[in-house]
Every structure is written in C-alpha cells, then in structure tokens.
Structure 1
C-alpha cells in the first residue's frame, strides 16, 4: 500500500531559499507542496487555512519568527510536523523545545531533506488527525539535543550523555571522551531530563544515575560522587537529599 501524500507548507523570507526547497521537494515522492509563506504571520494564516501535514520553517523571519510560528500552531491537536530550516545553529535547543521533528542547516542537502520528511512521516503516524498527540518514547522528557561542531550540527541522544556541567551561560554535554556546548539553563535542562535517568548533584552538575559508581563522605560531612570514568563530582548541600534517596538513607 502506498504511503499517504504529505501536504507541505514552506515558510521562508528568502526567495532563493524557498525556491531551492521547492525544487528539492519536487524530487521527493509522496509529498505535495500546498503553499509558500514569506513571513511568520503569513505562515500561521496559511497553516490555519491549508492544514498542512508538515511545515518547513525558516527561523529568522519578519514578524513572528519560526519558533513563534511553531508555538502559535501548537494549539492544533495534533499540529503539523515542524521541520526548521535555518542558517543559524544557535536556535537548535529552542527548536526542540517546541517539539520540532528535525532541524536542517542551509544550504539543505537533498538526502538530509529526505530524512527529515521521513521523520515527519513517522511523527504523523504516531499522531494521526483527530487524536491527542502521543509522545515518542521517553514520555514528556527530552530525547535528543543538536549541538554545533566543525561539520555543522550533531545529534546527541540523551541516553548517551554521561553528565552535564555548567559553563557560564552554556551547558557542556559529556559523552565519553567528547563534549559539546549548548546554550541552555541548568534549571530548564533539569526539568527536561527524565529524573529516573538523571540526578542533579550540584548547581552546576547533572549526572546520569548509572554513571555514578558510588558516594563517599569527606571530613566536612559533604558527599562526593565517584563516576564511571574515574572523576569525582562534589555534591552541593542543596542536593544532599537526592544522594540520600539514591542510597536509601
């Protein structure tokens, strides 16, 4: 059985970028371009009128930006699958805060757009019209981050993160021997991570629970967490109750 045709709406204030997306979509099977908006307010109006399955949103647009557009249409239950397409990588965390299914950097590569369309299709299969949205596995909590590296953006699965450390206005995600910086607050990050998987041990540190190998108390009475990579993480006084809960004391 053939897959249903996806109705797609483009919103981009750059005519050449919008035209490039149209040409790339013409090569994709199972999609139908229903409209193109050149600003955020127009994108919201067209989304209400055309009811697209997928929106390809630029972020930096006149009036409402792409993030605002995504928030505006989120009241639709379920709303269209949102794919952000932008020249800027600093919006990645904000994009996934509004449940975007993908985040592409300009100039968009044909294969990368194809994968984004497939992600959107999978999202719509989980959230068919007329039903309440069904979160992907990891209900209600963050599942992935997109961080900058020399090649562009890299996807980091939450389950792969060993620990998070604060560096001024940025958070460093540690995965094995590598790490990436994202622009996010520690409090918002703590709220977004599954507490069954992560525990906050300090105002500047969140650690994956199974990355902790033990605790020890120093003469001052404070706790120190021993980590799987041999490092030690001091436990802040405000977070000592979390340690006691873990060890059953």
Structure 2
C-alpha cells in the first residue's frame, strides 16, 4: 500500500526527451517519490509497468505505438493496477482520460506546484482504494466520476451528487452550488447509480433520494418533486409509479 509515509514508486512515459527530463528534475525535488523507470513509447510503458509494478504512471498521451489512453486501458486490467496521471500538451483528451479513471490531468509545461497536487491526489486515490476495497468489491454501482475543469480533472463522489440533468449528449452533475459536465447517457447513469440512493424522475433528470424534500402537483395534476435547494423538478409520466412507491402511495 502507498500512503503519505511510504515512497511513491513512479514510472514516466513520454516520447519527448526534454519533457521526460523536466519531470525527472521536478521529481528530484519532491519528497517521498522513487522514480523506477522512464519509457519512451506506449508499448515500453506497458512492459516496464508489468515488470516494475509502479504505484503511479506519469503518462503522456500522444506517443508512438500505444497512446497514453491505450496504455492506461491495458494496465487497468492488471491487479493491482497503477494509478495514472496524464501529463500532456493537449486538452481535448479529458473525456477519454475520465473513461480510464485517471487520477489527474496535468497540462504541459508542468509547474512544480501543479505536480505536487497531482502526486497528492495519487496518494489519496491509492490510500482510498485500499481502504475501500472490501466495500467496492461487493457493489456493482459507480462510486465516483471524473469531470474536467480549468485545472485538470476533478473527482466527484457519487454520494455527493444532488441531481443529474441532461444537456444534449452530456450529463451535468450538480453538487451544491457547483456543476460539471460528463459524457454519459442518462440510461447509463441510471444503471450505474445505486437505486437505493438515486431515483429517476424524468427522462432528463435523476435525483438523490435524500435531496427530495417532498412531492406536490402542478395545476394540471402532474407530480412535481420539491428539492432541498428550493427548486422544483417535474416528474415525467413514465416515472410516476416510482414516485408513488417512494412516497408509499
């Protein structure tokens, strides 16, 4: 297990020698890290990761052979799999990075403070994975999401989501006063979220059950869910039975 008191074993994968060297120099000034190797292409990254068993990969995306996304996907099948932080000059791969459960998404040129935050996130992720392993292995439901923002990727715990609303091909996750877009379908989210915690109220809305303060009807007799933030969520006709079951009616 890797935690704040244990050395974090790192593998760099980057086909740009100057970029790899910059990361090595930055890591030399970081406490509690152990650089176990540097790969210059995706295929070498997979081979070295399988041989050296790093805790964390600092992984470029655009590389010869397997790209960074393919490397992360290949290594995700291993148990235990290394954590992945993408270090890239391109911002258009954030959604793909979410799909392979990257811990962070850092833009080049990498600044020391930004690297420190990425390493801290990796440590937290690895520690939580060990701590939560028994519970996670017994559940098929999603317990976290990754969404992009200006600083990289943000981890969002499923239990913190108040509601989900559809925006064309994207879903917006609402957490208190903030929200993030992710590339999922509403049906996939309905299947992935624990029905003991979430209920679908409309073809374009899923709400956390304990975020619902009550139910009422509008002027035409249609159900409306009154939410804890004071807003109302119309209930679609297809979901009226679920509302009546929740309300014990």
What's 1:211 paired with? 211
Match of 1:45 among 44, 47, 56: 47
| TM-score, length basis structure 1 | 0.80
Deviation at residue 41 of structure 1 after TM alignment: 1.9
Q: Tell me, what secondary structure is at the counterpart of 1:62?
A: coil
Match of 2:115 among 113, 128, 153: 113
Structure 1 range deviating more: 133-142 or 155-164: 133-142
Pair 1:96–1:193, CA change in 2 (3 A): farther
CA deviations over 1:93-129 (Å, ceiling 9, x no partner): 443443333332333232232233233334444567x
Aligned length: 244
Deviation at residue 168 of structure 1 after TM alignment: 1.0
Pair 1:152–1:196, CA change in 2 (3 A): same
What's 2:73 paired with? 71
**Cα separation, 2, equivalents of 1:135 and 1:19:** 40
Task: Output the aligned Cα RMSD.
Answer: 3.2
What's 1:179 paired with? 179
Deviation at residue 48 of structure 1 after TM alignment: 1.6
2:146 matched to 1:148? Answer: no
Tell me if the contact between 2:147 and 2:181 (Cα under 8 Å) persists in the aligned partners.
no
**Cα separation, 2, equivalents of 1:66 and 1:162:** 33
**Cα separation, 2, equivalents of 1:15 and 1:202:** 52
What's 1:62 paired with? 64
CA deviations over 1:51-90 (Å, ceiling 9, x no partner): 2221111233333232221221122211222222233444
Q: Tell me, what secondary structure is at the counterpart of 2:229?
A: coil
2:216 matched to 1:199? Answer: no
Structure 1 unpaired stretches of 5+: none
